[in-house]
Amino acid sequence: MTNSTAKLEFGGDNREYEIRKGTVGPDVIDIGSLYKDTGMFTYDPGFTSTASCESKITYIDGDEGVLLHRGYPIDQLAEQGDFLEVCYLLLYGELPTRTQKEDFDYRVTRHTMLHEQMSRFFTGFRRDAHPMAVMCGMVGALSAFYHDSTDISDPRQRMIASIRMIAKMPTIAAMAYKYHIGQPFVYPRNELSYAANFLHMCFAVPCEDYKVNPVLARAMERIFILHADHEQNASTSTVRLAGSSGANPFACIAAGIACLWGPAHGGANEAALNMLSEIGSVDRIPEYIERAKDKDDPFRLMGFGHRVYKNYDPRAKIMQKTCHEVLQELGIKDDAQLDIAIELERIALTDDYFIEKKLYPNIDFYSGITLKALGFPTTMFTVLFALARTVGWIAQWKEMIEDPNQKIGRPRQLYTGATQRDYVPMERR
Ligand code: CMC
């Protein structure tokens, strides 16, 4: 390997592949012509060594526990910024000036209402439907209503679709929640902040006044910021892959929501909280730690480990602090799940298995306890993740569409199935 090329010796031939440098982080070997040159593909299940695209949005250094959006550290954004400011940053690449921010907030709040006819879609779902199932359906259905923002070749339509999704996602999520619990829908209030409006739509009822607690609204805002983007994770890659075929943005985000639902991804905070309930008491932790270490037991400590972070997840630190703030504000002193979480974290951080495998708590470990304290049922946790991640998905989708080198995503395979054989009629099988 030289500074600028990597050599591949193959069948007596020497091939050279360009090494491309990013502004920070690992370089990449550009093997785009490998198949043409050698007739071979690379094999990398789970894409552990594959950069699928070039991006300027988010940078993660998993070994150091660093997460930057457009260069800004996540802790600074979460502690000093607000969610719509982070949305602007992800979409446009720079922090907004005061005027730009006011204009952006105005544009988002003008789109918070959902077409009234769409509210009738909800009644087509069973009341006990998982709200993520409802989210997949409702977001996909946006393309059936907002035809004037589905032409992906028009930059203006792309931006309108982006603003619409950022604006309407809280409304759809809150409606999915209200439908689930059998309460009437609460319409958005544009004078409230993004997070406060969401809490209002979830927890207000028409028969009495509801005042949003500013400490809880700030916690909600932080949770949204912490989940806003995370480079090429499974759901973002899904959105990019769906978008690479030219599918409309609403359909692409619905695909991202479907992928996020899985317990190894967005479903992990729900799974982490369920696990804390299952453990039940601090004295049963060692039993679960042993199960997590046992190769023959499929059990894993939910909320621990990460494909990229081999250090403390920087979002988990802020999440832990936010969790304590929320519990203190609500006067929750003895929370059994929090006690188990703190002890579990302490044991795991000192246990050789977890140290050797670099398994640290991830963001989901504390977000479940916080969301539960805020009043959300576990089934809503992944919905909140989807709501917050929408801006990241959109920013990544826009970046891809605007990339002149963009091609349809089409991975190849190592085929290990049957070779060609003749059809056998049913009676001879
Ligand atoms: N508990 C016990 N062992 C674990 C855990 C865990 N939570 N996570 C990984 N390991 C072990 C695993 O068994 C493997 O051991 P070995 O090398 O002996 O086979 C080793 O650590 C490496 O694991 P891996 O599955 O190869 O690592 P990965 O990068 O493919 O998986 C992960 C990452 C997040 C899917 C995994 O750590 C996991 O399943 N964690 C629990 C689920 C969770 O909390 N997910 C939320 C991720 S953060 C939110 C998001 O970004 O969506």
Residue 187 is which amino acid? Y
Tell me: pLDDT of 193 over 80.
Answer: yes
Interval 313-317 mean pLDDT: 90
pLDDT value, residue 413: 96
Q: What's the average model confidence in pLDDT over 326-341?
A: 86
How far is the centre of ligand 1, averaged over its atoms, from the C-alpha of 303 (Å)? 9
User: How many CB atoms neighbour CB 3 within 10 A?
Assistant: 7
Query: Is 364 a catalytic site residue?
Result: yes
Highest mean pLDDT among 21-30, 297-306, 337-346: 21-30
Burial (Cβ within 10 Å: 0-12, 13-18, ≥19) of residue 115: middle
Catalytic one among 180, 200, 227, 306?
Answer: 306
Burial class (CB in 10 A: 0-12, 13-18, 19+), 132: buried
Identify the pLDDT of residue 201: 98
Q: What is the pLDDT of residues 115-142, one digit of tens each?
A: 999 999 999 999 999 999 999 999 999 9
Residue ranges lining ligand 1, Cβ < 6 Å: 230, 233, 264-266, 268, 292, 300-307, 357, 359, 362-364
Q: Which secondary-structure segment (H or E) carries 9?
A: strand 5-10
Q: Return d(Cα 61, Cα 66) in angstroms, integer.
A: 5
In Å, how far from its chain's centre is CA 298?
Answer: 24
CA distances from 334 to 71, 211, 217, 317 (A): 39, 26, 23, 21
Dist CA 4 CA 18 (whole Å) = 6
CA–centroid distance, residue 301 to ligand 1 (Å): 8
**How far is the C-alpha of 143 from the C-alpha of 12, rounded, in Å?**
53
Instruction: Using the mean position of ligand 1's atoms as its centre, give its distance from the Cα of residue 304 in Å.
Output: 7
**1 pLDDT above the threshold of 70:** no
Judge whether 229 and 58 are in contact, CB under 8 Å.
Answer: yes
Measured between alpha carbons, how far is 18 from 240 in angstroms, rounded to an integer?
24
Structure tokens at 278: 């299952």
**Residue ID of nearest Cα to ligand 1 atom 44:** 303
313 pLDDT band, cuts 50/70/90, is confident
**In this predicted structure, what is the pLDDT of residue 2?**
53
Using one digit for the tens of pLDDT, what is the confidence trace for 382-422?
Answer: 999 999 999 999 999 999 999 998 899 999 999 999 999 99
For residue 66, the model assigns a pLDDT of 95
Highest average pLDDT, of 58-67, 140-149, 387-396, comes from 387-396
304, 358, 364: which to mutate for ligand 1, most atoms within 8 A of CB?
Answer: 304
pLDDT at 263: 83
The residue-averaged pLDDT of 91-107 equals 97
pLDDT of residue 131: 94
Span 191-209, average pLDDT? 96
Q: What is the DSSP letter of 363?
A: H
pLDDT in tens, 280-310: 999 999 999 999 999 999 999 998 988 888 8
For the CA of 265, the nearest atom of ligand 1: 52
CA of 287 to the centre of ligand 1 (A): 19
Does residue 261 surpass a pLDDT of 70? Answer: yes
Q: Residue 3 — pLDDT band, cuts 50, 70, 90? A: low
**Could you identify the atom of ligand 1 that is nearest to the CA of residue 234?**
52
Among the listed residues 82, 105, 313, 364, the single catalytic one is 364
pLDDT band at 81 (very low <50, low <70, confident <90, very high): very high
Residue closest via CA to ligand 1's atom 34 equals 306
Mean pLDDT of the chain, nearest integer: 93
Strand pairing class (13-20; 5-10): antiparallel
306 is catalytic: yes
pLDDT greater at residue 271 or residue 164:
164
